[in-house]
């Protein structure tokens, strides 16, 4: 397994359902929620460090800058399956 997994596809194609079934022990963040977007935008690195690994970021296209921070953290940890990213 790679450190970062990505699932993309058309809207309403059950990507979220699939990911929640495959990764039931992962934390889930829907980035359509304004509260999550605000927390992440204010301190992306702090947010990623606080959540640890095994995280699903759904609708990740809503925070394009997040990709850079995820890569930096992922490179430091070098652990398989740290982040699962989903978007349309």
pLDDT of residue 80: 87
Strand-pair partners of 4: 83
What is the Cα–Cα distance from 78 to 76, expressed in whole angstroms?
A: 6
Q: Are 69 and 76 in contact (CB under 8 A)?
A: no
pLDDT of residue 78: 83
pLDDT of residue 77: 87
Residue 7, SS3 per DSSP: strand
pLDDT of residue 15: 94
Q: Are 26 and 1 in contact (CB under 8 A)?
A: no
Q: What is the number of structural domains in the chain? A: 1
pLDDT of residue 1: 73
Domain span at 21: 4-87
Give alpha helix (H) positions in the chain.
Answer: 15-22, 34-42, 44-51, 66-77
- pLDDT mean values, one per 10 residues, the chain (88 residues): 91 94 97 95 95 94 95 90 93
Look up residue 19 and give its DSSP letter: H
């Amino acid at each position: 397994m790679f450190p970062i997994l990505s699932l993309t596809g058309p809207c309403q194609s059950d990507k979220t359902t699939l990911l929640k079934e495959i990764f039931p022990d992962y934390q889930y963040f829907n980035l359509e929620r304004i509260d999550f977007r605000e927390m992440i935008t204010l301190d992306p690195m702090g947010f990623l460090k606080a959540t640890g690994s095994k995280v699903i970021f759904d609708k990740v296209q809503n925070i394009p800058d997040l990709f850079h921070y995820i890569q930096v953290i992922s490179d430091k940890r070098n652990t398989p399956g740290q982040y699962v990213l989903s978007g349309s």
